């Protein structure tokens, strides 16, 4: 009986491939959950999944079921954790009016984390993707505008572009599109930056 108990406790440890890590960026201690199938191959794709406002990395991981998809298709998943605002709510700094004084650089954090994971786990820098829900979807749009060359494609869910979060470079793209001075192809290129890929759907 004791041997059976030891075996039953040991097997989950053998198959454990999900861990929470700390990552330092701009003086802040950030967190993320990393998951990879046990048989993942070198140069495998990497998919980021971002939680919504007041959500968490653990919560979106439990909700979205991406780990099972990763097991079936052989890619790694990263669930980054946002920071907490003055009300104690987890968020991504995308330019909400009530976060006007916030200086957290979430774009820089995600870019640095992507580079770190690609290097550390031998993941594909050409096949790194980003998706997110609600506030995480808005971060997805922001990344598509700010750093289109870092990710292969973007898949925002239930989010929109928040112009207050854009830099001067991408604010110009946004304003020109509203005034009709950019073609759809130019806008698609600015948002996605990858030939042959569908741009993220937006109401611009």
CA atoms lying within 13 Å on the CB side of residue 58? 4
What are the structure tokens assigned to 8, written together?
């039953």
pLDDT band at 184 (very low <50, low <70, confident <90, very high): very low
Burial of 103 (C-beta count, 10 Å sphere; 0-12/13-18/19+)? exposed
Q: Give the integer Cα–Cα distance in Å for 169 and 146.
A: 8
Kindly give the interhelix angle for 135-146 and 168-178, rounded to the nearest 10 degrees.
Answer: 100
Give the list of residues 6+ apart from residue 57 with CB closer than 8 angstroms, or none: 20, 31, 32, 33, 51, 79, 80, 81
What are the pLDDT digits (tens) for 27-38?
999 999 999 999
In a domain, 4, yes or no: no
pLDDT band at 113 (very low <50, low <70, confident <90, very high): very high
In a domain, 201, yes or no: no
In a domain, 197, yes or no: no
In a domain, 200, yes or no: no
Q: What is the pLDDT of residue 18?
A: 81
| SS3 state of residue 128 | strand
Q: What is the pLDDT of residue 160?
A: 87
CB 108 within 8 A of CB 30: no
Q: Flag whether pLDDT at 201 surpasses 70.
A: no
Q: What is the pLDDT of residue 54?
A: 97
In a domain, 173, yes or no: yes
CB 152 within 8 A of CB 128: yes
CATH of the domain at 158: 3.40.50.1820
Q: Name the maximum alpha-carbon separation found in the chain.
A: 75
In a domain, 1, yes or no: no
pLDDT band at 170 (very low <50, low <70, confident <90, very high): low
Q: What is the mean pLDDT of the chain?
A: 81
Q: Give the integer Cα–Cα distance in Å for 83 and 124.
A: 27
In a domain, 24, yes or no: yes
Q: What is the pLDDT of residue 10?
A: 34
Question: Locate tokens 């001067």: which residue?
Answer: 168
Q: Flag whether pLDDT at 181 surpasses 80.
A: no
CA distances from 75 to 35, 44, 129, 138, 181 (A): 9, 5, 11, 24, 39
Average pLDDT over residues 191-200: 38
Q: Give the integer Cα–Cα distance in Å for 24 and 43.
A: 25
Q: How many residues in total does the chain contain?
A: 204
Q: Flag whether pLDDT at 7 surpasses 60.
A: no
What are the pLDDT digits (tens) for 30-72?
999 999 999 999 999 999 999 999 999 999 999 999 999 999 9
CB 30 within 8 A of CB 80: yes
| Window from 23-32, 138-147, 186-195 with minimum mean pLDDT | 186-195
CB 59 within 8 A of CB 89: no
Domain assignment of residue 105, given as a range: 9-192
In a domain, 202, yes or no: no
pTM greater than the 0.85 cutoff: no
95 or 167, which is more confident: 95
| SS3 state of residue 173 | helix
Query: For the chain, what is the domain count?
Result: 1
């Amino acid at each position: 009986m004791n041997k059976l108990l030891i075996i039953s406790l040991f097997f989950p440890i053998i198959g454990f491939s999900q861990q929470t890590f700390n990552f330092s960026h701009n003086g802040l201690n950030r967190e993320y959950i990393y998951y990879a199938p046990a048989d993942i191959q070198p140069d495998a794709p990497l998919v980021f999944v971002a939680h919504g406002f007041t959500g968490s990395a653990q919560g979106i991981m439990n909700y979205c079921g991406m780990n099972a998809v990763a097991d079936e298709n052989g890619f790694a998943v990263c669930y980054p954790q946002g920071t907490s605002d003055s009300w104690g709510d987890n968020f991504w700094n995308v330019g909400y009016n009530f976060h006007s004084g916030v200086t957290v650089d979430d774009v820089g954090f995600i870019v640095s984390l992507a580079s770190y994971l690609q290097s550390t786990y031998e993941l594909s820098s050409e096949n790194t993707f980003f998706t997110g829900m609600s506030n995480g979807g808005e971060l997805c749009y922001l990344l598509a505008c700010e750093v289109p060359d870092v990710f292969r494609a973007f898949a925002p869910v239930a989010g929109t572009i928040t112009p207050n979060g854009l830099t001067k470079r991408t604010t110009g793209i946004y304003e020109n599109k509203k005034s009709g001075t950019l073609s759809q192809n130019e806008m698609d290129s600015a948002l996605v930056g990858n030939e042959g890929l569908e741009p993220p759907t937006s109401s611009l």
